[in-house]
Amino acid sequence: MNTLSYKTQSAKPSTVDRKWHIIDAEGMIVGRMSTKIASVLRGKHKPDYTPHFDNGDYVIVINADKVRFTGLKMDQKTYLRHTGYPGGQKATKAKELLVKKPIAIVETAVKGMLPKTKLGRAQYKKLFVYAGAEHPHVAQKPEAMEL
């Protein structure tokens, strides 16, 4: 009989070590990039991943206006929203949204890949998306992340 007893370690607020990652989205495919970002926000890249606890890292995405889609998605993909009034559903093509609000494309893709709970909303708050190459998080010393 084995006398060693192993216990599964769960992440706790005292054991979390959050890092800042920066991702240059220039020329990257939206869906493939977003899956990696969602995984980092959830903490799945860490060995102490705990599904019911937020131990993910912060992610900064720059150059969101230079992302790309595969196939004909740029012309055919539609983003839906609702004004809250009867008959108030609005549709916007990906090409138009990339011109008007380029950060909305990345934010929408990542948000759809996170849990639809309080935990998912807390994880989403650690995402910072910027259209250009500049960002105000220099003091956090973000590390460049290759996807």
Q: Quickly name the fold that domain 20-70+102-144 has.
A: Ribosomal Protein L13p; Chain: A; (3.90.1180)
Question: What distances in angstroms separate CA 12 from CA 16, 43, 49, 116, one per listed residue?
Answer: 6, 13, 10, 22
Mean pLDDT, the chain cut into blocks of 10 residues (147 residues total): 72 92 97 98 94 96 97 97 97 97 97 97 98 96 94
Instruction: Tell me if 5 sits within 8 A of 46, measured CB to CB.
Output: no
| The model scores a pTM over 0.85 | yes
Instruction: Tell me if 110 sits within 8 A of 67, measured CB to CB.
Output: no
- Residues 83, 51: Cα–Cα separation, whole Å: 34
